[in-house]
Amino acid sequence: MTWQLFSSDLPFLNEITVFQVKTKGEVALSYAPLGTASFALISMIITIYIAAKARKISSEQKRIAQDKLDLDLLDKRYNVVRSYIDFFKYLVNCPQDKDDIITQKIKFEQNYLYFDIFFPEKYKNLFVDSREILRVLAKHRVDAIGNQYYNSDHFDELENSISKTYNYLTEMRILLKEYSPNFIRYPPTSSPASLDKPQPTAPAVDQSPPTP
């Protein structure tokens, strides 16, 4: 900014011009609004970035926690189904000790009680009916010990019990797979460069010494 001094009485003042020069501090102060706006913009970008990272970490932690819960539930459900399978295999192998049959039956009944906790109500009939058939099968095994004259009716009933139990156990296996966590049901696909795929090799080079 400039000022020019003027007076009709003093003509020489027309030749004098006064200049106002800003100091460095005043110059810097003039840019203060721009700096403030830039700083606010950078702060906002950093805040958004941190928030996005925090949200991603939180989402990953929730997924891991859910996977762990699903895996724990699968373990509990597997133990219930496994108790049916183990007791069925035991009875099919024709045990000859009545006390041992009773012991295995008690062990099975203890695990059976948990089906009502880890499986929905709509599958109750599957587990209850399977238990009743296994009880019948266990009774057949006890009655057959030392009985050499088991009639055909008993064998037909025994065969029918085994067939029904096998069908029920097949349904339980399918049910167990249905309630498996997604990372077990749908494992990651293998990479295109599978280790099982033969890789191309360089042609063989004859390194035998030259013949004279």
Strand partners, 3: 18
Q: What is the pLDDT of residue 131?
A: 92
Q: What is the pLDDT of residue 59?
A: 85
Q: What is the pLDDT of residue 150?
A: 56
Report the distance separating Cα 134 and Cα 107, nearest Å: 13
In the chain, the percentage of residues whose pLDDT exceeds 90 is: 13
Nearest CA-CA partner of 109 in 78, 86, 131, 130: 131
- Model-level pTM? 0.60
Q: Is residue 80 one of the residues assigned to a domain?
A: yes
Q: Is residue 12 one of the residues assigned to a domain?
A: no
Higher pLDDT, 112 or 17: 112
Q: What is the mean pLDDT of the chain?
A: 75
Express each pLDDT in 143-197 by its tens digit: 877 765 555 667 777 788 888 888 999 999 888 888 887 777 776 664 444 444 4
State the total domains in the chain. Answer: 1
Q: What is the pLDDT of residue 83?
A: 92
Report the distance separating Cα 21 and Cα 207, nearest Å: 88
Structural domain boundaries enclosing 99: 67-182
Give yes or no for a contact between 154 and 140, defined as CB atoms under 8 angstroms apart.
Answer: yes
What confidence tier does 85 reach under pLDDT thresholds 50, 70, 90?
very high
Q: Is residue 195 one of the residues assigned to a domain?
A: no
Q: Is the pLDDT of residue 212 over 50?
A: no
Q: Is residue 40 one of the residues assigned to a domain?
A: no
Q: Is the pLDDT of residue 204 over 50?
A: no
Q: Is residue 169 one of the residues assigned to a domain?
A: yes
Q: What is the pLDDT of residue 205?
A: 47
What confidence tier does 87 reach under pLDDT thresholds 50, 70, 90?
very high
Q: Is the pLDDT of residue 92 over 70?
A: yes
State in Å, rounded, how far the first CA of the chain is from the last one: 102
Nearest CA-CA partner of 70 in 211, 179, 199: 179
Nearest CA-CA partner of 162 in 103, 92, 61, 64: 92
Q: Is residue 109 one of the residues assigned to a domain?
A: yes
Give yes or no for a contact between 178 and 74, defined as CB atoms under 8 angstroms apart.
Answer: no
Q: What is the CATH number of the domain that holds 137?
A: 1.20.120
| Residues 123-138, mean pLDDT to the nearest whole number | 90
Q: Is residue 119 one of the residues assigned to a domain?
A: yes
| Residues 38-46, mean pLDDT to the nearest whole number | 82
Q: Is residue 174 one of the residues assigned to a domain?
A: yes
Compute the CA torsion angle 178, 184, 190, 195 (nearest 10 deg): -120
